[in-house]
């Protein structure tokens, strides 16, 4: 079994937004805390604090964001899998984002308690 991971819940609630692939990055997407932007040929995807998003923007609910306490070397394997496998076993839907140093796992707000139980059962440690 991989070593236990330390993770923390970021404050606030987040949402996942979809804009047209050629859309400009809107000013509301920028957050002083966590936000993520990904563009591909089909869409511009934005994860940001829920309260930043205008009502006319297509967005997916309310998410809790867990930050894995990195940094992790690129040569380390199974880091994210050891976290996500537990959630998948218990039917917890996720949205994962990786950065240079670490990983973030978003869980729909209604699955927050189940996610915490799953992760703690697997030996992972929530820190504040």
DSSP state of 91: T
| Whether the Cβ atoms of residue 41 and residue 22 lie closer than 8 Å to each other | no
For each of the chain's 128 residues, which pLDDT tens digit applies? 568 899 999 999 999 999 999 999 999 998 888 999 999 999 999 999 999 999 999 999 899 999 998 878 777 778 889 999 999 999 999 999 999 989 999 999 999 999 999 999 999 999 98
Beta-strand runs (E) in the chain? 6-9, 14-19, 36-39, 44-49, 58-68, 94-98, 103-108, 125-126
pLDDT at 2: 64
3 CB neighbour count, 10 Å cutoff: 11
Instruction: List domains and CATH numbers for the chain.
Output: 6-126 (3.30.2130.10)
β-bridge mates for residue 68, sequence order: 7
What is the largest distance, in Å, between two alpha-carbon atoms of the chain? 45
SS3 state at 82: helix
pLDDT at 94: 96
């Amino acid at each position: 079994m991989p070593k236990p991971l330390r993770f923390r819940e970021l404050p606030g609630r987040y949402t996942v937004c979809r804009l047209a692939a050629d859309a400009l990055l809107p000013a509301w997407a920028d957050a002083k805390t966590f936000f993520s932007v990904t563009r591909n040929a089909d869409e511009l995807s934005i994860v940001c604090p829920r309260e930043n998003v205008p009502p006319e923007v297509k967005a997916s609910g309310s998410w809790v964001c867990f930050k894995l306490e990195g940094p992790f070397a690129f040569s380390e394997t199974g880091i994210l899998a050891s976290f996500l496998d537990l959630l998948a076993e218990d039917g917890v839907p996720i949205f994962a984002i990786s950065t240079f140093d670490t990983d973030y796992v978003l869980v729909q707000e209604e699955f927050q308690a189940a996610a915490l139980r799953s992760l703690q059962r697997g030996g992972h440690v929530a820190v504040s």
